Amino acid sequence: MDKKFQKIRNDFPILNQKVNGEPLVYLDNAATSQKPQVVIDEMVRFYQNDNANTHRSVHTLGERATEEYEAARVKVQKFINAASSREIVFTKGTTDGLNLVASTYGENNVVAGDEIVVSYMEHHSNLIPWQQLALRKHATLKYIELTADGQLDLNDANQKITNKTKIVALTQTSNVLGVTNDIKQLAIMAHDHNAVIVADGAQAVPHQPVDVQALDADFYAFSGHKMLGPMGIGVLYGKSNLLKSMPPYQFGGEMIDFVEKYQSSWADIPWKFEAGTQNVAGAIGLGKAIDYLKDIGMQNIADYENQLVDYALPKLLAIPGLTVYGPQDPQYRNGVISFNLTGLHPHDLATALDMDGIAVRAGHHCAQPLMKYLDVVATARASFYLYNNQADIDQLIRAIYETKEFFRL
């Protein structure tokens, strides 16, 4: 393992603690990542020195806050290679961004008889907005099937996307199966039928290089808290021509151009989608998280996490009675591994692991249609990030064996 990544762990103060008397092994990164000290310090610095509302004041603090907020937008633009910073809308998170698209672009472009295409591996945040839009508009919601090993079936996608399709909404990386979908190829399919593609990048942006122009995604949403940033901040990328065509999502202060008694006009993009006081400290914290990730290098992070998967997956597959969901070959998955232990509910397994200081997720992972597709009620899930190491994985494996022995499984 890369010695550089072994030192990275020291940047995360929360990891230096014991849980239930054992050193913390944090393997719930698909739910939220931990924060390096530099991100925490940056947000404290803003509140101690520059706290003011943005875009509204000519005083020094207001100008500094506005400058830092907009600088964070530029950092996001460059990080995902958007064509312009005006294509970057700050949101509360992935869910907020996807709802924005469904409630604006979707509401104005989908009519009765149209089709919306999703997949069985979608997180609820990239399913329910489209499900409810289809119900409101009397449109048809279609699901792309999965292959036997849990990957997206591109042949079925090619069949499901038709001239009736208006929106294709897909995750780039599954939060359950650990597979990364070919958004670029799916964008070609969508655009061939004059449909737009909406990508959920919540599990992709923190772990691999993302270039929205190369992907040719029309909309792309992700969250700050999964990529070392604070909670409550996220990003919606949209192609400028599409954002300009969309009505505002919310109304109030900051998103206006001019307000009269009986009508109003709106600000330019992206500000017409950022009504009210924004999470300025969150945006600045996200900008610092991006600085941190760029210093390490996103390809280096992807390569390191692949090493962790190469190390962990064979050990998990070797445990008698343990079922891993998704591809069994490490080359087809990222650092998300969902599994079940025969004879033990995943909640009980997660509780047992927690007694050894190991934090994993257990439940349906906001993917109930996928759970039904897999014919399970729930799974346990271990998910890795740049501060994890082989020792964490070894502790997870030992704890699973100890749990098997305790419950005589």
Q: Of 141, 154, 366, 409, which is the active-site residue?
A: 366
Closest CA to 201 of 187, 183, 228: 183
Catalytic status, residue 317: no
Closest CA to 228 of 306, 297, 285: 285
Closest CA to 77 of 61, 67, 91, 89: 89
CB 203 within 8 Å of CB 151? no
Pair of tokens at residue 3:
């010695």
**Which neighbouring-strand residues pair with 196?**
167
Q: How far apart are CA 406 and CA 141, in angstroms?
A: 46
- Scanning 16-127, the segments in alpha helix (DSSP H) are 37-49, 60-80, 94-101, 107-109
Q: Are strands 196-200 and 219-223 parallel, antiparallel or unpaired?
A: parallel
C-alpha distance from residue 251 to each of 79, 274, 275 (Å): 29, 9, 6
Residue type at position 166:
K
Residues contacting residue 303 through CB under 8 Å, at least 6 positions apart:
none
Active-site positions read: 366
